[in-house]
Chains A and B, each alone.
Chain A
Amino acid sequence: MGFFLETLIGGLMAGMLYSLVALGFVLIFKASGVFNFAQGAMVLFAALAMARFSAWIPQWLGIDSRFLANTVAFLLAGALMFVVAWLIERLVLRHLVNQEGATLLMATLGIAYVLEGVGTSVFGSDIYKIDVGMPKEPVMILEGAFEGGLLINKEDFVAALIAGVLVGLLALFFQKTSTGRALRAVADDHQAAQSIGIPLNRIWVIVWCVAGVVALVAGVIWGSKLGVQFSLATVALRGLPVVILGGLTSIPGAIIGGLIIGVGEKLSEVYLGPMIGGGIEIWFAYQLALVFLLFRPQGLFGEKIIDRV
């Protein structure tokens, strides 16, 4: 029972991190109807910027404090993500207004390659460290109730907490602010939104900026866990089954989807894996998402697809 609970808790915490990555997809799709294949590349780019700035700033400014260096690096990386968002709108999206979804999707694939290439050229392709003081050693709880206690990974716990707070803030932003409502209006219909005076270009810059900040937070958390390197771009693949399952337009869907995928893949690896050779958690997540698609093509919380004839 103790082991089952450990796996379950581990899955929930991993799921919260998947939610954070999935959130990047949801934000951009919700506000612009674009499925952003560049989300993984944005996570990598942001993490590279953060890692390199946090190493360079103490040399540039002679700062000794790690906290201060990390704070300045975070702000600089955030500013860089703003520039990236502005460039994406200027150079790519502005020219593709009212184009088919598939065209926009292909454009984001191009953006992904550019970001990966530019990121590794400017910042390097080595492994870089982000040290934001995340605890690395495990902690044991309920040692009286279970033999050996329940192991909690403190780093995952803190990361899940940060992800949870960010998800909550973004949900509030979309539901309660006028900008959030404008973003949703643009997602529904570009032309209709323009006709009532919503500035499409500005909205797109805002949403890509927000997605950039989400990518930065995800990059800092994953980068702190894994080290900043090219593999971070593949972390986005963990978010794909989450958005399929949770629905592309729903922030709560990204959270619930992330938790289901996180728990599902860990339990499957531990309990099903040994029976069928192991190493199944990645494809099991997609399998789970496919099963959901059969019954709810729009995902758990996605908007219903209504076609008028």
Chain B
Amino acid sequence: MKLGKLALSTAATAVVLSSLLTSPHALAQAKEQFFPVLVYRTGAYAPNGTPWANGYVDYLKLVNARGGINGVKISFEECETAYATDRGVECYERLKGKHGGATVFQPLSTGVTFALTEKAPVDKIPLITAGYGRSESQNGAVFTWNFPLLGTYWVGADVAIQHIAKKLGGVANLKGKKIALVYHDSPYGKEPIAVLQELGKTYGFEVQLLPVAHPGVEQKATWLQIRQQKPDYVLLWGWGVMNSTSLREAQATGYPREKMIGIWWAGAEPDVKDVAEGAKGYSALTLQHGAEPNSKVVKDVLELVHAKGQGTGPKDEVGQVLYMRGLLSAMLGVEGVRKAQERYGKGKVMTGEQVRWGLENLNLDQKTLDAMGFAGVMRPVQTSCLDHMGSSWVRVHTWNGSKWEFSSDWYQADEKVLRPMVMLASSKYADEKKLKPRTPEECKK
């Protein structure tokens, strides 16, 4: 009797296991490239996090609608971080091994990036931090799994000063000027300080630091100090409600918005649309792209995703600044996979390690970008094992009271200034963590 029961249960288990192993779902999973999506659709930063997440997910859907990455379909799963570092790490741990393993993480938070920088090498999963994260992680010899593609905060700080110098009629006119940095009191907000101070010493301008505590709804004292000290320019390094509050306080204290320049995280529709006329004249850097409602890729998203009822967010948000940032971020991850497939086999699912190779060998020239629908949206990106940033082109756009308009030519960060700083900071990090930087020979493997 006992033997009979044992045989029966063994047979039942075998049937269940074999059906699980051969089910269409399991087979489908094995052929899908899994993209975990860390988002914040709730909490204080939701108005800015949501369009980014919608753009990111819509692009993944677009790739699937176009047939996948050389036939490999993308699967994805969202995890809500609420812009909290602990929850971001929790999401990473939950998703890193799901659906055959994560392809790449994009946390959209400098705090979460700091926390994951030590985990990614252990799990062999690349981190793309397009336009945020640790600036020194540009050095791929030390930060082997971080990819601050398109630009870092140091790039932003350098270009902001270049832009001010141009307005003043040359870098010589920066001497004796006072530039205030109103920043989110967090790792994100503190990132540009080192570069600004370095440039201040070089060009002879004074940097005034004005931190604003999270979430930034109370800034009266900050703007009274600005009114008293009358800086020549104000750099705004905020996120979420802090940006619109800064603009409202600038209006309430009479500080000219034309003298304010924001980083690319302080230059989107949620930052200005409610301030409207009060923000007119305010400029912000762009991470290459601005609002791009007329681009080919946006038209494709509308046609192949939204028109089929599969759009992630509202239709009128498609093409807005943060939506485009999310879309571009997803595109960079997808192109990393595509590049990896060129080496490790087209039509195959890539591992995190293989995708890292792809991201280290990205070469998106203008022709490729134009063919993908990014004509006029962005310039070429070319990474290497030692340069994980790949591009440092920046434009400036200005709020005209109802929409963002480009107001400058292209700038490129001054590598002569930034490269030594990147090397110094990254070697300090390597010493602290007892890491052996990769040599150019190791990169060739």
Which residues of A line the B interface, CB within 8 A? 3, 6-7, 10-11, 14, 120, 125-129, 136-138, 151, 153, 155-156, 225-227, 229-231, 234-235, 238, 265-266, 269-270, 273, 277-283
- With A153-B252, A231-B215 known as contacts, the answer to whether A266 contacts B224 (CB < 8 A) is yes
Q: Which residues of A contact B47 (CB under 8 A)?
A: 125-127, 229-230
Interface segment among B8-16, B64-72, B127-135, B206-214: the answer is B206-214
Interface segment among B38-46, B111-119, B346-354: the answer is B38-46
Q: What's the count of A-B pairs with C-beta under 8 Å? A: 105
B224 close to A10 (CB less than 8 A): yes
18 residue pairs of the A-B complex, CB under 8 angstroms, read A7-B221, A14-B218, A120-B46, A127-B270, A138-B252, A138-B253, A151-B253, A156-B220, A229-B46, A230-B43, A231-B240, A238-B218, A269-B222, A270-B221, A270-B225, A273-B221, A279-B213, A283-B213
Give the shortest distance, in Å, between A238 (CB) and chain B (any CB): 7
Residue on B nearest A283 in the bound complex, by CB: B213
Interface segment among B170-178, B241-249, B379-387: the answer is B241-249
Interface of A is mostly: helix
Residue on A nearest B210 in the bound complex, by CB: A278
B224 close to A270 (CB less than 8 A): yes
Residue on B nearest A126 in the bound complex, by CB: B47
Give the shortest distance, in Å, between A102 (CB) and chain B (any CB): 25
A126 CA to B46 CA in the complex, in Å? Answer: 7
A7 CA to B41 CA in the complex, in Å? Answer: 36
- With A277-B211, A279-B212 known as contacts, the answer to whether A227 contacts B252 (CB < 8 A) is no
A137 CA to B42 CA in the complex, in Å? Answer: 32
B216-275 interface (Cβ within 8 A of A):
217-218, 220-222, 224-225, 227-228, 240-241, 244-245, 248, 251-254, 270, 273-274
Q: Which residues of A contact B218 (CB under 8 A)?
A: 14, 238, 265, 281-282
- With A127-B273, A227-B241 known as contacts, the answer to whether A234 contacts B44 (CB < 8 A) is yes
Give the shortest distance, in Å, between B167 (CB) and chain A (any CB): 25
Neighbour of B244 across the interface among A10, A120, A226, CB < 8 A:
A226
> Is B88 located at the chain interface by the 8 A CB criterion?
no
Give the shortest distance, in Å, between B252 (CB) and chain A (any CB): 5
> Is B50 located at the chain interface by the 8 A CB criterion?
yes
Residue on B nearest A17 in the bound complex, by CB: B218
B252 close to A136 (CB less than 8 A): yes
Residue on B nearest A274 in the bound complex, by CB: B225
A268 CA to B43 CA in the complex, in Å? Answer: 29
Residue on B nearest A235 in the bound complex, by CB: B217
Q: Which residues of A contact B254 (CB under 8 A)?
A: 137-138, 151
B224 close to A6 (CB less than 8 A): yes
> Is B185 located at the chain interface by the 8 A CB criterion?
yes
- Over the window 13-43 of chain B, the binary record of Cβ atoms lying under 8 Å from chain A Cβ atoms (1 yes, 0 no) is 0000000000000000000000000000111
A7 CA to B211 CA in the complex, in Å? Answer: 18
B251 close to A266 (CB less than 8 A): no
Give the shortest distance, in Å, between A34 (CB) and chain B (any CB): 26
Q: Which residues of A contact B224 (CB under 8 A)?
A: 3, 6-7, 10, 266, 270
A127 close to B244 (CB less than 8 A): yes
Interface residues on B, range: 35 or more
A281 close to B213 (CB less than 8 A): yes
Give the shortest distance, in Å, between B319 (CB) and chain A (any CB): 16
Q: Which residues of B contact A238 (CB under 8 A)?
A: 218
Give the shortest distance, in Å, between B131 (CB) and chain A (any CB): 21
Which residues of B line the A interface, CB within 8 A? 41-44, 46-47, 50, 185, 209-213, 215, 217-218, 220-222, 224-225, 227-228, 240-241, 244-245, 248, 251-254, 270, 273-274, 278
A266 CA to B227 CA in the complex, in Å? Answer: 14
Give the shortest distance, in Å, between B255 (CB) and chain A (any CB): 10
A125 close to B50 (CB less than 8 A): yes
A280 CA to B225 CA in the complex, in Å? Answer: 14
A227 close to B274 (CB less than 8 A): yes
A269 CA to B241 CA in the complex, in Å? Answer: 20
- With A234-B217, A265-B221, A269-B221 known as contacts, the answer to whether A125 contacts B44 (CB < 8 A) is no
Neighbour of B217 across the interface among A136, A156, A231, A270, CB < 8 A:
A231
Q: Which residues of B contact A270 (CB under 8 A)?
A: 221, 224-225
Give the shortest distance, in Å, between A30 (CB) and chain B (any CB): 26
Give the shortest distance, in Å, between A103 (CB) and chain B (any CB): 27
Q: Which residues of A contact B221 (CB under 8 A)?
A: 7, 10, 265-266, 269-270, 273, 281
Give the shortest distance, in Å, between A196 (CB) and chain B (any CB): 44
A227 CA to B46 CA in the complex, in Å? Answer: 14
Q: Which residues of B contact A6 (CB under 8 A)?
A: 224, 227
A225 CA to B43 CA in the complex, in Å? Answer: 19
Most buried by A among B211, B213, B221: B221
A269 CA to B221 CA in the complex, in Å? Answer: 6
Neighbour of B274 across the interface among A3, A11, A127, A156, CB < 8 A:
A127
A282 CA to B43 CA in the complex, in Å? Answer: 19
Residue on B nearest A281 in the bound complex, by CB: B221
Q: Which residues of B contact A266 (CB under 8 A)?
A: 220-221, 224
A212 CA to B253 CA in the complex, in Å? Answer: 32
Q: Which residues of A contact B213 (CB under 8 A)?
A: 279-283
A120 close to B252 (CB less than 8 A): no
A269 CA to B42 CA in the complex, in Å? Answer: 30
A227 close to B244 (CB less than 8 A): yes
Give the shortest distance, in Å, between A125 (CB) and chain B (any CB): 4
Q: Which residues of B contact A120 (CB under 8 A)?
A: 42, 46
Give the shortest distance, in Å, between A253 (CB) and chain B (any CB): 22
A175 CA to B218 CA in the complex, in Å? Answer: 33
Q: Which residues of B contact A3 (CB under 8 A)?
A: 224, 228
A137 close to B215 (CB less than 8 A): no
A129 CA to B274 CA in the complex, in Å? Answer: 6
